[in-house]
Amino acid sequence: MTSFRFLDDVDAQRQLGVDRLTFEELLHTKRLRPVSRQGTLSFYRAADIARLRAELYPETEAEDDEAAADATPPDDDQAQVIALPTDPSALPDSALASPPRQPQTASKVPPAHQEGPEGEAITPSPSLMGRGPGGGAKPKKKGHDPAMRVHLRLTADLKWYDITDPDLQAWFNQLHPETYARRRANAEFVKQRMEQIIALLDAGQARYEALVEQAADGDVQQTGGGVGEG
């Protein structure tokens, strides 16, 4: 699953495939324990994460084990061995002939600044620009994951704190009336997204408070049981 011996809380949560509140619940119930802490980060053994993942998803882990077993190459004693004659005279002429060589061709992609016969610079055609060494298209850069995209969007929205009421009025005074409908549609869409975020935060806050209260009740019961026994 991973080649690292230790994982931080972010990678551990991703490996387990759970949300943050479920991850916190696993910590409160002692099903997962950190081995060290550094600031706000906690670190966990990769082996513990793999064990807990197997407990959470036993069917998935079984399927992964079967797939790994199917992909395992056969043993040497089970591999087929093709016997070849040791006498070269027993081989056909086609086997002794050298394989034909492929003619070497120059790359179809010219360099960015190739010089012509008169010393003039030759620029590649637009259809060849942006291609890799083999003439194929360059791979696109991998974008951010969904959580990071939302984080970056919300971070950019913090600039609204710099906008004052007179700023909004000045912006509106310069708007063309034909753009009112489009601007309003954009604002309505952003409003829906913000309401969705608020609903998620409210639900998460209620679930987290219940989790903390449940953990506190468990600590009180353990303390009371210890005092009674004494």
Q: Per-residue pLDDT averaged across 29-52, rounded?
A: 90
Q: Residue 205 and residue 198: Cα distance in Å, rounded?
A: 10
What is the Cα–Cα distance from 200 to 209, expressed in whole angstroms?
14
Q: Which of 3-7, 18-22, 139-143, 147-151 has the lowest mean pLDDT?
A: 139-143
Enter the tokens of residue 49: 């994460």
Residue 109 DSSP symbol? S
Confidence at residue 33, expressed as pLDDT on a 0 to 100 scale: 92
Neighbouring C-alpha atoms within 13 Å toward the C-beta of 15: 23
Q: Is pLDDT at 123 greater than 80 in this prediction?
A: no
Task: Give pLDDT, residue 65.
Answer: 63
pLDDT reported for residue 228: 52
The dihedrals phi and psi of 7, each to the nearest 5 degrees, come to -130, 145
Per-residue confidence band for 41, with pLDDT thresholds at 50, 70 and 90: confident
Instruction: Give the per-residue pLDDT at 68.
Output: 61
Q: Considering the chain, what percentage of its residues have pLDDT values greater than 90? A: 37
Q: What is the reported pLDDT for 67?
A: 63
- Domain spans of the chain? 6-70, 146-229
Compare 92 and 184 and report the one with higher pLDDT: 184
Q: Decide which of 119 and 214 is more confident.
A: 214
Give residues with Cβ within 8 angstroms of 154, minimum separation 6: 197
DSSP string, 6-75: EEEHHHHHHHHT--HHHHHHHHHTTSS--SEEETTEEEEEHHHHHHHHHHH-HHHHHHHHHHHHHHSPPP
Please give the average per-residue pLDDT across 149-177, as a whole number. Answer: 93
pLDDT in tens, 198-226: 999 999 999 999 988 888 877 777 766 65
53 neighbors 17 (Cβ within 8 angstroms): yes
32-52 burial: b if 16+ Cβ within 10 Å, else e: bebeeeeeeebbbbbebbeeb
Report which residue type is found at 52. Answer: L
8 A C-beta contact, residue 135 and residue 109: yes
Q: Which of 49, 2, 4 minimizes the C-alpha distance to 23?
A: 49
Q: Which two tokens stand for residue 34?
A: 């950190």
Question: Lowest mean pLDDT: which of 8-17, 62-71, 148-157?
Answer: 62-71
Q: What is the pLDDT of residues 68-103, one digit of tens each?
A: 666 655 555 544 544 545 555 555 555 445 555 555
* Summary mean pLDDT of the chain: 76
What's residue 186's pLDDT? 96
* pLDDT recorded at residue 217: 79
Task: State residue 7's pLDDT score.
Answer: 92
Q: Please state, in angstroms and as integers, the Cα–Cα distance from residue 47 to each residue in 8, 18, 34, 60, 185, following that order.
A: 13, 17, 12, 17, 50
